[in-house]
Amino acid sequence: MSAPARILITGAAGCVGQYTADHLYRHSDAQLLLLLRDPSKLQAVPANDPRITLLVGDLRDLEPHAAAIASATRVIHTATAWGDPERAYQVNVVAVKRLLQLLDPQRIEQIIYFSTASILDRQLRLLPEAMAYGTEYIQTKAQCLQDLEIHPLADRIVAVFPTLVFGGRVLPGDPHPTSYLTAGVQEAIPWLWLAKWLRTDANFHFIHAADIATVCAHLAVTPHGPNPEPGQGAVRRLVLGQAPISINRTVATLVRWRRGWLPPVGLDLRGWLIEGLIKLLRIEVNAWDRFSIRQRHFVHEPVSPPERFGLTSYAPTLEAVLEKAGVPHRGRLPR
C-alpha cells in the first residue's frame, strides 16, 4: 500500500486555494501542506487537523519551509500577485523558479501551475500581445510560461489557465472566500438599466472555483504521464472554463434574474460609443484594456470543464453561478 500523497498548495488562503484544499481534504487521504501568509483567513478546512500542515510565510521567502517543500510529491501553485510591477515579477517569475528548485526531483511527481487564459489565443498559443501590451500581471505570467516550457521539470508540469472565476457568495455564511468576479456582480447590477440597452458581439468563458478545485484535485490524485494533448510541448496546457457565453446573453440573464424588463432591441456598441462611455463613466483604461476591447472574443479550443475528465460541474451555467452565489432575484442587494 503506497503512502498518501503529500500535496503542497500555495496561495492556500485564497479563493481557489481554499476550494482546492477543501476538496482534497474531503475527497482524498492526501497530506496537505498549505503555504499561506495569513492563517486567520483559512476557514474552509480545519487548520489543526493532523493531515494539514500550515507553512506560514511569503512566497518570496521560501527558505524557512525548504524541507517541507522538498517532501512534496505534488504541487498546486495558485499563489500570484498583481498591482505592483516589482512584486509581480518577484512572485510570478522569481519565486516560481525558486519553488521548483526546492522540490526534490526524485520525489516530485507533478506540478499544477496556475496562469491565466488571458495570455492564450484560441488555439492555446501564447498571445504576442501579452508581452507587448500586458499589465505587469499579464507580462509576468507570459514570461513564466515561456520559462516553464524549457524547465528540466517541464514534463511534470500541468499549466492550468482559468477563465473568469466565480466563487463564494455575496451573502455571509460561506467559509470560502468570495472571488473578485462574484463580488463584482453586486457592483454591476445597479448598471443593468444602462447595459440592457446596449448590444455587443463578444464572447468569453467562465468557471466556478469549485469546478477548478474538482479538476485540479482529479489531476493531483491521478498518475501523471506524458502530455496527451495534441500539438503541445512538454508542459500540458488546460484552459479551465465552461462553454463560451456572449456578453448579450450575460446581460439578459442578469436582467431576467433580477426580474427586470429586457428591451427587444438595443444600441450596438461600436468603437466611438465605447470611447464615449469610457469618458462618460470616467473609466481608466490601459493598453491591455484597449487590446481586450479590440479582441472581443476570448474563447479557446479546447476548453476543459470537469466533464472533460468524466466529472460533474458544480456550476455549469451562469444561472447556477448566480444561484450558488446567493444573488437575490430582486430587491436590495447586500452591502
The secondary structure of 169-235 as a DSSP string is -SSS--SSPPPHHHHHHHHHGGGHHHHTTEE---EE-EEEHHHHHHHHHHHHTS---S--STT--SS
Give the pLDDT score at 332. Answer: 56
Give the pLDDT score at 285. Answer: 75
Residue range 241-256, pLDDT digits in tens: 999 999 999 999 999 9
- Is 156 a residue whose pLDDT tops 90? yes
Residue owning grid cell 470543464: 305
What stretch of H or E contains 330?
none
Is residue 93 classed as helix, strand or coil in its secondary structure? Answer: helix
What stretch of H or E contains 287?
helix 287-295
Q: Assign domain 6-165+207-240 to its CATH architecture.
A: 3-Layer(aba) Sandwich (3.40)
**Average pLDDT for 104-110:** 97
Instruction: Using only the alpha carbons of the chain, give its radius of gyration.
Output: 20
Give residue limits of the domains in the chain: 6-165+207-240, 171-204+243-298+315-325
- Of 240, 164, 275, 219, the closest CA to residue 5 belongs to 219
- Is 278 a residue whose pLDDT tops 90? no
- Is 335 a residue whose pLDDT tops 70? no
Strand partners, 7: 32, 74
The cell numbers describing 69, all together, are 517543500
Lowest-pLDDT range, 145-154, 166-175, 200-209, 315-324?
166-175
Give the distance from CA 267 to its chain's centroid. 32
pTM: 0.94
Most confident of 100-104, 180-184, 291-295: 100-104
- Of 261, 273, 218, 214, the closest CA to residue 242 belongs to 214
What b/e sequence results for 18-56 when a residue is b if at least 16 CB atoms lie within 10 Å of its CB, and e otherwise? bbbbbbbbeebebbbbbbbeeeeebebbeeeeeebbbbe
